[in-house]
Amino acid sequence: MTPRPPVLRVPIVDASRSVLDELLDRAPGHELADATGRGGPVPATRVSLVATREALVALFVASSEPPLAVAHRGRGGRVFEDECVELFLERPSEPGRYLEVVVNPAAALYAAEVDNPDGSRASWRVSPVLPRGLEVRVSGAPAGEPSAYSSWRCRLEVPWSEAGGAPSAGEVRRANAFRIARGLATHHLALSPTLRRDPPDFHVPSLFARLRFTEVL
């Protein structure tokens, strides 16, 4: 039986950048699990989500097993071939159409608009984009070469203007968060597992998590 995707509460806040970062650090972290549904141990990874009127802000915190695969730099490359975290945001009025954002420990970025109403790579359309106003911040430890990080953090700020407009309080939207851990071993992790195997596949909109936006006064 296919499990029901989780419904996660995401607060809408009106806060300065410094206060927003404090809220992210204090927000409940949602643990990512094996995306294929097989279970078993995976590297610790969590994501925290907070919304503003202008953007969705996500903070990934990941433990790693170096050496990590970090081949790409800059923007537009095949970052999904590296150790990476990924955020998918579906447009509210267009089921199966979503923004994909992928970042590696060197802060390299890949982004695309994906039109995938059937949840199938046979019929999908993928258009690489560079979303305007997207902010990416990455840090890791120990200091130095990203491929040697034993832990790393990625903060993404995705403007609502690039994802179908800002949500209203009480609105529910589909989204998902992922990680491909490529260190001593390879693991595919998901906030809401997509259950596809051989090969693993993140692009299953029907199994994305549901984000319920709630206003915090």
pLDDT at 26: 86
CA nearest neighbour of 176 among 129, 125, 127, 210: 210
- Domain positions in the chain are 7-215
Signed CA dihedral, 63, 67, 68, 70: sign only: positive
pLDDT at 1: 62
How many CB atoms lie under 10 A from the CB of residue 61?
Answer: 18
Checking if the pLDDT of 9 tops 60, the result is yes
* Tens digits of residue pLDDT in 144-194: 999 999 999 999 999 999 999 999 999 999 999 999 999 999 999 999 999
CATH class of 7-215: mainly beta
Whether the per-residue pLDDT at 3 is higher than 90: the answer is no
pTM value is: 0.96
Q: How far apart, in Å, are the Cα atoms of 207 and each of 22, 117, 135, 172, 212?
A: 30, 12, 26, 14, 15
Contact 88, 178 (CB under 8 A): yes
Whether pLDDT at 217 is above 70:
no
Q: What is the pLDDT of residues 182-206, one digit of tens each?
A: 999 999 999 999 999 999 999 999 9
| Residue 216: predicted pLDDT | 78
Quickly state the pLDDT bin for 16 (edges 50, 70, 90). confident
CA dist 133 and 112 (Å) reads 15
- In this prediction, residue 23 carries a pLDDT of 87
User: Tell me, what's the pLDDT at 73?
Assistant: 98
Return the pLDDT at 162.
Answer: 97
pLDDT tens-place string over residues 22-78: 889 888 899 999 999 998 899 999 999 999 999 999 999 999 999 999 999 999 999
pLDDT for res 215: 86
